[in-house]
């Protein structure tokens, strides 16, 4: 086993550990901590894939912003008043859905043999060239999507 | 190249490790040196003289969520700015299209700010 | 018990990754470890000196003499304080969430220390030069916000929860101007590498091209550090210390350490991004850098001794209606100047003119009234 594989195994184990923690704990604060472990470890996997920019963006957007939005969204709820509501009813459905989803994700890996491709370090400049020549229109659509999200949040949070 | 990047970030792990070690030493020193006398009063949450009411889940105001969403949106926008600042002057991509594209992009999101300003969402109330 | 098992698992994973790295044939890792340890020692000494200097300077501003008793000019005062903090009982109130309460200081501290991996003191004196160094710094600084929420929430105290929420709202609002202004500088230097950014300033420091950028970055940094006039989340007179109300002993001092690490970090960033870092005539580079950092830190402390605290609604308005649009305007203007290769000196003049204009209009503004407070009983809250 090369060093890369060992590091990959450790990081993946941490991703899974965090992910299992998020869904198994009932304490929101603990779930946040597990989520941080998972998202940080995913950044580690990006590093192994030589995508430095993606790894840092993962930390910036997911580790910082998304976690805070999630926490605030959870703290908006009234847990103590509706403690009688339990998710037990939905569990069988959840299991079926997650197994199906797992199947969907695994299928491409079973059909194609991966490996043998050499990785090249992704440079921020080459990424920029691609983004602003080939993908100019999707990029502009992204700004509209962001605007829609902003207006949506305002509509949801309005007083009247 | 693989080695390079992994090595660079191994330094980050190293520094994390040393940071945790250093404050761990501080916590251990604190554990060894500090007195440990538990009394009922010390275990009470801080209040201004009156007995503290039991803490329960506190529901937060909507405004926090709005600002968090705003932050998320502008954070994502900043990430899109990142590759652009490096390439908009390069000969391969230097065209008025690429330049005004980003100006347009920022204009759209600044419209979002103006909109929420007009709707009174930027007011802390 | 479960918690201890989990913690052991995570920490052993980190240790395993560390050992795997040690045996991957990179022998300068020991050098880096030595460098990082030295860095921690150096930063701790700097923090002790900074606290002493802050107390002395504040005292002089307020016509007092400050610490005098311990050592000459009270120099040993902070060391005595540090010893006191370590020998203080670490109280954990009964209702806290123990795990989060223990871990929150670490989550706040680690990013504030890890950032220093990429901060160069001179071109060679840096633990790890990184191509995306500036992005790394920005990414790490958002991480510690989560630690603040954890601290406030796990303390199970109304003051700390309020402090944590307010601090988060404040920090996320001022993160945007920080990022956009930093990117404006990166655009001028055409690089995100901190060493390259400083090297690009060898003829002219960017403060002359970006006076508005410096003003925005500095104000946002003050808010990001929770320093006066933006120290709303400590707000001793209202929130009795914000997220850290319940903390004592070593845990509290870790927060304090992280805060001063960050103060020093932002002073260093201002020096690197705007003031030309280690560049300067006659003296060796590192001395120039420290002179610049010293000046920036002195201004931060001077502001603390001079300005009253803003109200939270004013703070959010200054952030979202002032700094965010201005930083984007500055970004676009700089981009236009670079694209059409107009003289950047004109940009500097526009920056100074706009600062003067903003100061003038800000003085004439209509002062916003505090939000109306309606007192309702808890039973009514449930019904609403």
What confidence tens digit (pLDDT) does each residue in C38-57 have?
Answer: 888 888 888 988 999 998 89
Q: Above 60 in pLDDT, residue A142?
A: yes
C99 interaction partners in chain A (CB closer than 8 Å) = 30, 33
**A1: three-class secondary structure by DSSP:** coil
More reliable by pLDDT, B9 or C219: C219
Cα–Cα distance between A56 and C117 in angstroms, integer? 14
Residue of A nearest to B60 (CA): A76
Query: Does residue A128 form part of some domain?
Result: yes
More reliable by pLDDT, B33 or C325: C325
Same domain, A130 and A57: no
pLDDT band (50, 70, 90) for residue C269 = very high
Phi, psi of A51, deg, nearest 5: -100, 80
The C-alpha of A103 sits at a distance from chain C's nearest C-alpha, in angstroms, of 29
Residue where one domain finishes, among candidates A40, A71, A88: A88
Best CA proximity match to C265, nearest among C20, C19, C1, C43: C43
Q: What is the mean pLDDT of chain C?
A: 83
CA C41-C45-C47 angle, to 5 degrees, is: 115
Cα–Cα distance between C307 and A156 in angstroms, integer? 37
Query: Does residue A70 form part of some domain?
Result: yes
The C-alpha of A57 sits at a distance from chain B's nearest C-alpha, in angstroms, of 7
The C-alpha of C270 sits at a distance from chain A's nearest C-alpha, in angstroms, of 21
Query: Does residue A81 form part of some domain?
Result: yes
Which two structure tokens, joined as six digits, stand for A154? Answer: 């305002």
Residue where one domain finishes, among candidates A88, A112, A134: A88
The total of structural domains in chain B comes to 1
pLDDT band (50, 70, 90) for residue C384 = very low
B125 interaction partners in chain C (CB closer than 8 Å) = 313, 371
CB atoms within 10 A of CB C241: 19
With beta carbons less than 8 A apart as the criterion, state whether C208 and C347 touch: no
Cα–Cα distance between A38 and A15 in angstroms, integer? 4
First to last CA, chain A: 62
For C327-336, b where at least 16 C-beta lie within 10 A, e where not — what string? bbbbbebbbe
With beta carbons less than 8 A apart as the criterion, state whether A22 and A31 touch: yes
Non-local (6+) Cβ contacts of C258 within 8 A are: C105, C108, C109, C112, C113, C144
Which two structure tokens, joined as six digits, stand for A22? Answer: 């998020």
Contact C33 B14 (CB under 8 A): yes
CA A125-C135-B18 angle, to 5 degrees, is: 130
Query: Does residue A107 form part of some domain?
Result: no
- Residue-level pLDDT at B49: 64
Query: Does residue A40 form part of some domain?
Result: yes
Domain of residue A70, CATH code? 1.20.120.1200
Question: Which of B75, B90, B108 lies at the smallest CB-CB distance from A144?
Answer: B108
Domain of residue B90, CATH code? 1.20.58.1610
With beta carbons less than 8 A apart as the criterion, state whether B6 and A48 touch: yes
Query: Does residue A134 form part of some domain?
Result: yes
Cα–Cα distance between C230 and C263 in angstroms, integer? 13
Cα–Cα distance between B118 and B123 in angstroms, integer? 10
Give tens-digit pLDDT for C96-111: 777 888 888 888 899 9
Residue of C nearest to A81 (CA): C382
Write out the residue range of the structural domain in which residue A44 sits: 3-88
Mutate one of B10, B90, B113, B116 to test the C interface: name it (highest C CB count within 10 A). Answer: B10
Could you tell me how many CB contacts below 8 A there are between chain A and chain C?
A: 84
**A11: three-class secondary structure by DSSP:** helix
Q: Provide the residue ranges of all domains of chain C, joining segments of one domain with +.
A: 88-383
Average pLDDT over residues C297-319: 86
Same domain, A84 and A129: no
CA C265-C268-C269 angle, to 5 degrees, is: 85
Cα–Cα distance between B3 and A40 in angstroms, integer? 20
Contact A69 B93 (CB under 8 A): no
Give tens-digit pLDDT for C55-92: 889 898 888 888 888 878 878 888 888 888 888 887 77
Contact C139 A60 (CB under 8 A): yes
Contact A71 C149 (CB under 8 A): yes
Contact B36 C245 (CB under 8 A): no
Which two structure tokens, joined as six digits, stand for A4? Answer: 């890369």
Touching partners of C (3+ C-beta pairs < 8 Å): A, B
The reply to whether B68 touches chain A by the CB within 8 Å rule is yes
Largest CA distance in chain C: 72
The C-alpha of B50 sits at a distance from chain A's nearest C-alpha, in angstroms, of 24
Same domain, A78 and A146: no
Compute the CA torsion angle C22, C28, C34, C38 (nearest 10 deg): -130
Which stretch, A131-135, C31-35, C296-300, has highest mean pLDDT? C296-300
The C-alpha of B43 sits at a distance from chain C's nearest C-alpha, in angstroms, of 4
Write out the residue range of the structural domain in which residue B8 sits: 2-47+62-118
Which two structure tokens, joined as six digits, stand for C164? Answer: 């944590």
> Per residue, what are the HEC states of chain C?
CHHHHHHHHHHHHHHHHHHHHHCCCCCCHHHHHHHHHHHHHHHHHHHHHHHHHHHHHHHHHCCCCCCCCCCHHHCCHHHHHHHHHHCCCCCCCCCCCHHHHHHHHHHHHHHHHHHHHCCCCCCCCCCCCCCCHHHHHHHHHHHHHHHHHHHHHHCCCHHHHHHHHHHHHHHHHHHHHHHHHHHHHHHHHCCCCHHHHHHCCCCCCHHHCCHHHHHHHHHHHHHHCCCCCCCCCCCHHHHCCHHHCCCCHHHHHHHHHHHHHHHHHHHHHHHHHCCCCCCCCCCCHHHHHHHHHHHHHHHHHHHHHHCCCCCHHHHHHHHHHHHHHHHHHHHHHHHHHHHCCCCHHHHHHHHHHHHHHHHHHHHCCCCCCCCCCCCCCHHHHHHC
Residue ranges of B 63-122 with Cβ closer than 8 A to chain C:
63-64, 67-68, 70-71, 74-75, 78, 81-82, 85-86, 88-89, 99, 102-103, 106, 110, 113, 117, 122
With beta carbons less than 8 A apart as the criterion, state whether A36 and A63 touch: yes
The reply to whether B117 touches chain A by the CB within 8 Å rule is no
Residue of C nearest to A38 (CA): C10
Compute the CA torsion angle C203, C206, C207, C209 (nearest 10 deg): 100
Lowest mean pLDDT among A22-36, A105-119, C202-216: A105-119
With beta carbons less than 8 A apart as the criterion, state whether C115 and C258 touch: no
Lowest mean pLDDT among A59-63, C227-231, C302-306: C227-231
pLDDT band (50, 70, 90) for residue B55 = low
Cα–Cα distance between C142 and A64 in angstroms, integer? 5
The C-alpha of C60 sits at a distance from chain A's nearest C-alpha, in angstroms, of 39
The reply to whether B55 touches chain A by the CB within 8 Å rule is no
The total of structural domains in chain A comes to 2
The reply to whether C250 touches chain B by the CB within 8 Å rule is yes
Mutate one of B12, B17, B53, B64 to test the A interface: name it (highest A CB count within 10 A). Answer: B64
Average pLDDT over residues A16-45: 86
Phi-psi region of C280 (alpha: psi -120 to 50; beta: other; left: phi over 0): left
Q: Above 60 in pLDDT, residue C199?
A: yes
Residue ranges of C 44-83 with Cβ closer than 8 A to chain B:
none
Cα–Cα distance between C290 and C288 in angstroms, integer? 5
Query: Does residue A112 form part of some domain?
Result: no
Half-sphere exposure in the Cβ direction for C38 (13 Å, CA): 9
B117 interaction partners in chain C (CB closer than 8 Å) = 320-321
Contact B93 A79 (CB under 8 A): no
Q: Above 90 in pLDDT, residue C180?
A: yes
Best CA proximity match to A73, nearest among A32, A30, A23: A32
Contact A72 B65 (CB under 8 A): yes
Phi, psi of B57, deg, nearest 5: -55, 125
A158 interaction partners in chain B (CB closer than 8 Å) = 119, 121
Contact B12 C186 (CB under 8 A): no
The reply to whether A79 touches chain B by the CB within 8 Å rule is yes
Lowest mean pLDDT among B2-16, C110-124, C154-168: B2-16
Mutate one of A65, A71, A136 to test the B interface: name it (highest B CB count within 10 A). Answer: A65
Question: Which of B33, B67, B88 lies at the smallest CB-CB distance from C173?
Answer: B67
ipTM: 0.86
Phi-psi region of A50 (alpha: psi -120 to 50; beta: other; left: phi over 0): left
């Amino acid at each position: 086993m090369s060093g890369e594989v060992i590091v990959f195994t450790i990081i993946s184990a941490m991703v899974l550990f965090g992910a299992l923690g998020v869904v198994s704990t009932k304490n929101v604060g603990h779930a946040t901590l597990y989520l941080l472990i998972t998202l940080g470890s995913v950044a580690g996997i990006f590093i192994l894939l030589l995508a430095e920019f993606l790894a840092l963006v993962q930390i910036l957007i997911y580790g910082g912003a998304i976690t805070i939005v999630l926490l605030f969204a959870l703290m908006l709820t009234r847990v103590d008043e509706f403690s009688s509501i339990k998710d037990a009813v939905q569990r069988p459905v959840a299991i079926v859905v997650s197994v199906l989803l797992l199947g969907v994700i695994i299928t491409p890996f079973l059909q194609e043999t991966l490996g043998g491709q050499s990785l090249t370090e992704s440079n921020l400049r080459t990424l920029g060239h691609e983004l602003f020549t080939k993908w100019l229109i999707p990029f502009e659509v992204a700004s509209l999507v962001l605007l829609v999200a902003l207006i949506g949040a305002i509509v949801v949070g309005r007083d009247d | 190249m693989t080695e390079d990047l992994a090595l660079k970030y191994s330094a980050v792990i190293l520094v994390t490790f040393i940071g945790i070690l250093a404050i761990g030493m501080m916590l251990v020193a604190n554990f060894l040196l500090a007195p440990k006398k538990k009394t009922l009063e010390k275990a009470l949450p801080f209040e201004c003289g009156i007995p503290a009411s039991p803490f329960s889940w506190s529901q937060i105001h909507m405004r926090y969520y709005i600002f968090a969403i705003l932050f998320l949106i502008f954070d994502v926008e900043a990430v899109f700015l990142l590759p652009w600042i490096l390439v908009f002057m390069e000969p391969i991509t230097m065209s008025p299209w690429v330049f005004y594209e980003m100006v347009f992009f920022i204009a759209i999101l600044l419209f979002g700010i103006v909109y929420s300003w007009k709707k009174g969402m930027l007011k802390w109330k | 018990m479960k918690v201890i098992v989990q913690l052991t698992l995570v920490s052993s994973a980190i240790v395993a990754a560390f050992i795997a790295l040690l045996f991957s044939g990179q022998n300068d890792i020991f050098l880096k470890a030595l460098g990082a340890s030295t860095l921690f020692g150096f930063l701790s000494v700097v923090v002790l000196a900074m606290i002493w200097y802050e107390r002395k300077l504040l005292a002089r501003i307020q016509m007092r003499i400050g610490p005098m008793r311990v050592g000459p000019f009270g120099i040993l005062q902070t060391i005595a304080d540090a010893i006191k903090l370590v020998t203080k009982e670490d109280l954990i109130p009964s209702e806290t969430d123990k795990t989060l309460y223990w871990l929150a200081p670490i989550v706040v501290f680690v990013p504030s220390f890890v950032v220093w991996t990429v901060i160069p003191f001179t071109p060679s004196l840096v633990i790890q030069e990184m191509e995306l160094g500036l992005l790394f710094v920005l990414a790490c600084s958002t991480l510690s916000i989560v630690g603040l929420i954890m601290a406030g929430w796990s303390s199970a105290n109304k003051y700390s929860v309020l402090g944590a929420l307010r601090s988060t709202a404040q920090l996320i609002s001022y993160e945007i101007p920080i990022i956009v202004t930093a990117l404006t500088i990166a655009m001028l230097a055409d690089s995100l590498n901190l060493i390259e950014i400083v090297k690009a300033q060898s003829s002219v420091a960017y403060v002359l091209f970006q006076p508005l950028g410096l003003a925005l970055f500095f104000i946002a940094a003050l808010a990001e550090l929770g320093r006066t006039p933006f120290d709303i989340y400590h707000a001793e007179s209202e929130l009795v210390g914000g997220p850290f109300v319940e903390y004592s002993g070593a845990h509290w001092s870790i927060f304090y350490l992280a805060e001063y690490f960050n103060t020093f970090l932002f002073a260093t960033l201002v020096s690197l991004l705007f003031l030309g870092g280690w560049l300067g005539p006659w003296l060796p580079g590192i001395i120039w850098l420290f002179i610049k950092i010293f000046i920036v830190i002195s201004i931060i402390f001077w502001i603390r001794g001079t300005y009253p605290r803003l109200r939270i609604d004013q703070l959010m308005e200054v952030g979202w209606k002032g700094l965010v649009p201005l930083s984007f305007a500055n970004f676009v203007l700089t981009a236009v100047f670079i694209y059409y290769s107009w003289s950047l000196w004109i940009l500097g003049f526009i920056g100074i003119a706009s600062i003067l204009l903003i100061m003038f209009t800000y003085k004439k503004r209509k002062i916003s009234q505090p939000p109306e407070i309606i007192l309702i009983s808890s039973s009514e809250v449930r019904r609403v």
